[in-house]
Structure 1
Amino acid sequence: MKKCRLGGRLLCWQLVGVLGLLWLPFASAGELKMGLVAPLSGASASLGTGMREGIEARFAEVNAAGGVHGKRLVLLSRDDHYEPLRAAPETRQLIEEEEILASIGNVGTPTAIVTIPLHQQHQTLLYGAFTGAGGLRLEPPDRYVINYRASYVQETAAMIEGLLQAGIAPQEIAFFTQNDGYGDAGYIGGIRALEAHGFDDAQDLAHGRYTRNTRNIHQGLATILQAPVTPRAIIIVGTYGPAADFIREARTDLPEALFLNVSFVGSQALADELGEMAEGVIVTQVVPPLDADLPAVHAYRDALARHDQSAEPGFISLEGYLAASLFIKGLEAAGENPDREKLVDALLGLGEVDLGLGDPVSLGIGDHQASDAVWPTRIRHGHFELLDWSSGLLP
């Protein structure tokens, strides 16, 4: 290697410093790279595309204002079709070859189960995953897993609380869930909530299941129809396709029943699939209503319109936008040349943060979930309205 002859020792060291930065994986070419692994095609595509739209809208907003410490935010997206066997290699490729700073907005519980060990192995953050499963909410928390949204336990607990408040007896509740870790998480949350209310026979309630990435709902429906007590409320933990098929079929035999879904179902896709039969269907949300008069919601709608005029506002993309907003606060706090460890430390050092939601969200060393809020909504004339459990639940 030739000696530096460009005007003295000081300039030489400056040049060496600049060249050194080019080798830093998270600061190269003035970019900060994040990765998203989610279903971007297939039956659950609206879940992945919704998260990507929200995150990209927030990143575009920040990039237009000069980036974070002058660095442009880049989101590298990979399609796993909502299948664990595809999620693992896609995640590994992003972490090892693309050298992403963090994963953000990954979709699904079964896919998270197989990718969390990769994030742990490479000490790379999995942030803001679109799942409320308990496997991402351990005690003590996993250093490399930080959540934005409320858990499925909190969503189903809100459902149980509301149903009991409305006068529905515990034995009149049934469950229809996806047969994997996602379905298990929601079901266990509901059972625990019932047991907390003193109902000791919760595990004897009718529980129908279906296989992930299929719409084979009939055996699960048959299980529920055979319940010794006719269900008046059915808690569904699934995706929009099979959930819509189940509701459509079940209404024939249970015309007075209430159908309740957790947020992961894909609210708008569910409403679109059901059409007029969506009337009265309940969905718990982990973000505010889309028409809420809140600064964060107004900012989201404006950013989405600027970034992608073809995108319709939705609960999933709003979640992606809000999760990205908090993530960017962590990036800013991590300094001009963040690495994977600095980012985790910065996020966990944020404490309370005002995102424009009325109440602050918060993160800390022992608190890896930013928001605990759940908004119950009901579909009325094709729109999602905030639900008051005491106002009467029948369609």
Structure 2
Amino acid sequence: MDNKADTRENPMLRYGKNCRLIAVTFFTIWISLSETSVYAREDEVLLGMSTALSGPAEELGQNMRLGVEIRLASENAKGGVKGRRIRLLAWDDGYEPEQTVPNMRDLIEIEHVLAVIGNVGTPTAISALPIASEEKTLLFAPYTGAGVLRKIPPNRYVINYRASYAEETSAMVDALINHAGLMPQEIAFFTQRDGYGDAGYVGGISALKKFGLKSETAIIHTRYERNTLVVENALADILLADPTPRAVIMVGAYAPSARFIKLARGAGLEALFLNVSFVGAEPIARELGTEYDGVIVTQVVPHPEDTSLPIVDRYQQDLLLYGEGKRSSFGSLEGYLAAEIFIKALSRLDNAPNRENIIDALEGLGEFSIGTGHKLHFDKNDHQASHRVWPTVLRDGKFVPFQWADIPLLLKR
């Protein structure tokens, strides 16, 4: 008898291997199908949002969520996009980056959202960015103008609606120098000590250097800590400056910014205060009341009461129908515009939406209009739809439109 070992595979072992092969094949097919269909069920598309629903920036997050939700409600009332209703899951991060991380993981990995839309804040966006890139999931229209989200060439998984903070502060600098005749060293900065404040400051300094500023050390730059109201030391630095600043560009949250303005005016500082859009026009107007006319806030959307614009008129109608009595705001209008653009891209898809083809659809929009009074644009090399900045000024407790050419009237001579 041949004592050579039998090399034939044991039938039971072969059966086990076949079972494992079938299981692996099934899992691979399931993963492949997941990539194309799990993000859009037969009757629903799921979107996510990690935003400030509590804490010092809560009104901004609540307004952004409101704007997205009323636009989705309007679309859903018509049957959704190609029969699919759109639902938003909004998780609270309190404007704290440490909470944004688990929120993003949960929305992407557990809830399987198609995209994340309208996240609020720069420090939180910095935390969300690597997760969106790693998970290959779109981060769309975040409520921040930070440069970290505006790389050239762009990150495929980050697409912005709004103008950048650099564009906002550049518009301020241009107006202060070209229209008001200030020298660069007569302009100071008050900023939040984080990526948000730094983004606005860097943009402003870059603009000042175009007007002859030799070094940023010639400019007074004071800062405060995020999620605090401790602004006294920052104000002291400005009060002691020589020359005394005639304009202060502010890149902060509404509560500390309002406190700074009140204390500065109380200390006799007759400077013009200019804030970027993230400050939130409505909350800072409420904080300042009717005693601090002349404060400027730049906006990245039209005025929410300008119903001469078709999209603002529809926003007002949908706010009345689905807003549960909420008042209009720049923030909720921005959320509405973001949802409008997303729906426009979603409507272009012939196949079921997935995390890749929704990006292709947005990039494929090219030049387009949604009724804001100016053209928007997306393509593979341009992931920022709008570059327009609208100036507003505080009058009788409300921010109203004004023209940069009128800025000399606001400066104390």
TM-score normalised per structure 2: 0.89
Which secondary structure state, in structure 2, belongs to the residue aligned with residue 277 of structure 1? coil
Q: Does structure 1 residue 172 correspond to structure 2 residue 186?
A: yes
Which secondary structure state, in structure 2, belongs to the residue aligned with residue 200 of structure 1? coil
Pairing 1:138-153 to 2, within 5 Å after superposition: 138-153=151-166
Q: Does structure 1 residue 219 correspond to structure 2 residue 233?
A: yes
Q: Which stretch of structure 1 is more off in the superposition, 216-225 or 124-133? A: 216-225
Q: Does structure 1 residue 131 correspond to structure 2 residue 137?
A: no
Distance 2:210 2:381 in 1: 24
The equivalent of 1:277 in structure 2 is: 291
Q: Does structure 1 residue 103 correspond to structure 2 residue 116?
A: yes
Q: Which stretch of structure 1 is more off in the superposition, 122-131 or 275-284? A: 275-284
Where does the alignment leave 5 or more consecutive residues of structure 2 unmatched? 1-32
Amino acid at match of 1:319: E
Q: 1:331-374 deviations in whole A, cap 9, x for unaligned?
A: 11133411000001110111111101122211111000000010
Which of 195, 205, 229 pairs up with 2:219?
205
The equivalent of 1:320 in structure 2 is: 335
How far apart are residue 203 of structure 1 and its match?
A: 3.7
The equivalent of 1:383 in structure 2 is: 398
How far apart are residue 241 of structure 1 and its match?
A: 0.5
Which of 237, 247, 251 pairs up with 1:237?
251
How far apart are residue 171 of structure 1 and its match?
A: 1.1
Alignment check: 8 A CA contact 1:289 1:384 kept: no
The equivalent of 2:14 in structure 1 is: none
Distance 1:233 1:300 in 2: 35
Q: Does structure 1 residue 194 correspond to structure 2 residue 208?
A: yes
Which of 88, 94, 116 pairs up with 2:129?
116
The equivalent of 1:363 in structure 2 is: 378
The equivalent of 1:394 in structure 2 is: 411
Distance 2:351 2:287 in 1: 46
Which secondary structure state, in structure 2, belongs to the residue aligned with residue 340 of structure 1? coil
Which secondary structure state, in structure 2, belongs to the residue aligned with residue 297 of structure 1? helix
Which secondary structure state, in structure 2, belongs to the residue aligned with residue 126 of structure 1? strand
Which structure has the bigger radius of gyration? 2
In angstroms, what is the RMSD of aligned CA positions? 1.7
Alignment check: 8 A CA contact 1:87 1:115 kept: yes
Q: 1:75-103 deviations in whole A, cap 9, x for unaligned?
A: 00000000000001111100000000000
Q: Does structure 1 residue 63 correspond to structure 2 residue 80?
A: no
Q: Which stretch of structure 1 is more off in the superposition, 375-384 or 340-349? A: 375-384
Distance 2:235 2:402 in 1: 26
Which of 339, 345, 352 pairs up with 2:354?
339
Q: 1:301-337 deviations in whole A, cap 9, x for unaligned?
A: 1111111232110000000101110111111113341
Which secondary structure state, in structure 1, belongs to the residue aligned with residue 320 of structure 2? helix
Aligned residues: 377
The equivalent of 1:3 in structure 2 is: none
Q: Does structure 1 residue 33 correspond to structure 2 residue 46?
A: yes
The equivalent of 1:298 in structure 2 is: 313
The equivalent of 2:261 in structure 1 is: 247
Distance 1:335 1:369 in 2: 24
Q: Does structure 1 residue 329 correspond to structure 2 residue 364?
A: no
Which of 277, 280, 291 pairs up with 1:263?
277
Distance 2:214 2:349 in 1: 48
Q: 1:214-239 deviations in whole A, cap 9, x for unaligned?
A: 11111111121221210110000001
Alignment check: 8 A CA contact 2:288 2:397 kept: no
Alignment check: 8 A CA contact 1:236 1:260 kept: yes
Distance 2:176 2:304 in 1: 24
Alignment check: 8 A CA contact 1:34 1:74 kept: yes
Distance 1:173 1:180 in 2: 21
Distance 1:128 1:27 in 2: 20
Identical-residue share of aligned pairs (%):
51
Which secondary structure state, in structure 1, belongs to the residue aligned with residue 356 of structure 2? helix
The equivalent of 2:103 in structure 1 is: 90
Distance 1:219 1:161 in 2: 28
Amino acid at match of 2:400: E
Alignment check: 8 A CA contact 2:293 2:395 kept: yes
Which secondary structure state, in structure 2, belongs to the residue aligned with residue 35 of structure 1? strand
Amino acid at match of 1:46: E
How far apart are residue 393 of structure 1 and its match?
A: 1.8
Where does the alignment leave 5 or more consecutive residues of structure 1 unmatched? 1-19
Which of 76, 79, 85 pairs up with 2:92?
79
Distance 2:217 2:49 in 1: 36
Q: 1:91-120 deviations in whole A, cap 9, x for unaligned?
A: 110000000000000001101111111001
Distance 1:334 1:158 in 2: 37
Distance 1:308 1:318 in 2: 12
